[in-house]
Chain A
């Protein structure tokens, strides 16, 4: 039986956004006793800036300005209800741009023979650039400013 002991710590502050943990085998995830993730740092939590209670956010839907990413544009929409940010949604994703479509078309023929699903690869870890979506946060901050946060 494969037994792997894993401990997971979410260091959200070092890079601002969480990334979905890739685990390809059964693992027992043990959070060391001393580790207490700060509130709101659970995996998949919204990277929205936490408004202080009574921060004066006006209810409504606000749209941040589009921020250009490497090959696309990200725009973020936040919904404020009861003075708190209820949801943050990326409303314009990189695939919106013609340039990205071009890149997608190239994806098949060149890499297809090499690509395998991470699930079937029997691997212990996946090396990749950390998801830090700086553009997303930048846009979110602008949407928050518009809401009066």
Chain B
């Protein structure tokens, strides 16, 4: 998973960048279900109990439980009896990076962790511009979101096999190609994008419609886009805003 920090001149303090990456490596070692020695793997093998986990792991699991309640079980750290908090950890890790950068005095920066993006301040010549990837063509974007301070997270099933599982059934959620969530907080945007993929576009957009500050953009498997009412406010005119019959949106809700 590529992770990029970007900032306009004069850039970011070197020490803060090194600290941020050092923290990301720690997060990876602790939470990755693909590392046999990670705390998550130890829990899954029954070598330690959840209660014995370090404080940060308990914090993450507590957050997961809260989002599980908020999403009526569409998000969960536990699927098929196994612990995998990855759906929340990426956003949580980006959030930690942002906090470090803020503490170091950085006013403008972008953190991009595998397509989940938090921006602050602005780019060299105006607001940050973040593209939303075409779910089938990876060098194309279908929307450009423009903002100074925003989180943009996308979940999807393209290229991923049966990767997003419905925690309620243990089966793959396959109704959407991708679901993009924008909002003030990267952790929540990330979790909501994953949850909304499980909910499906209608329920997912309704869910987001009830969350102040968050907007959603779903692309179903016919490549039809569906939006919450406020999503267009963040999009630039250069990206076909409002031209498409696909922009049916959830405005009637």
Which residues of chain B are within 8 angstroms of A6 by Cβ–Cβ distance? 4-6
> Are A129 and B24 in contact, CB atoms less than 8 angstroms apart?
no
Q: Name the segment of A11-19, A51-59, A78-86 touching the other chain.
A: A11-19
Per DSSP, chain B at the interface is mixed
Which residues of chain A are within 8 angstroms of B9 by Cβ–Cβ distance? 3
Q: Name the segment of B52-60, B67-75, B239-247 touching the other chain.
A: B239-247
Per DSSP, chain A at the interface is loop
Which residues of chain A are within 8 angstroms of B125 by Cβ–Cβ distance? 2
Partner among B8, B131, B174, B221 whose Cβ is within 8 Å of the Cβ of A125: B131
A132 adjacent to chain B (CB < 8 Å): yes
Interface of chain B residues 138 through 183 with chain A (CB within 8 A):
138-145, 152-163, 172, 174, 178, 180
> Are B130 and A126 in contact, CB atoms less than 8 angstroms apart?
yes
The 11 listed contacts between A and B (C-beta, < 8 Å) are A3-B8, A8-B3, A11-B3, A12-B1, A13-B28, A19-B114, A118-B140, A126-B131, A128-B115, A130-B160, A132-B163
Nearest first, the 9 closest Cβ-Cβ pairs linking A and B are: A135-B161, A128-B133, A5-B11, A129-B156, A130-B114, A114-B240, A128-B115, A123-B131, A134-B161
Which A residues form the contact surface with B (CB < 8 A)?
2-16, 18-22, 27, 30, 32-35, 43, 67-71, 74, 103-104, 106-107, 110-111, 113-119, 121-136, 138
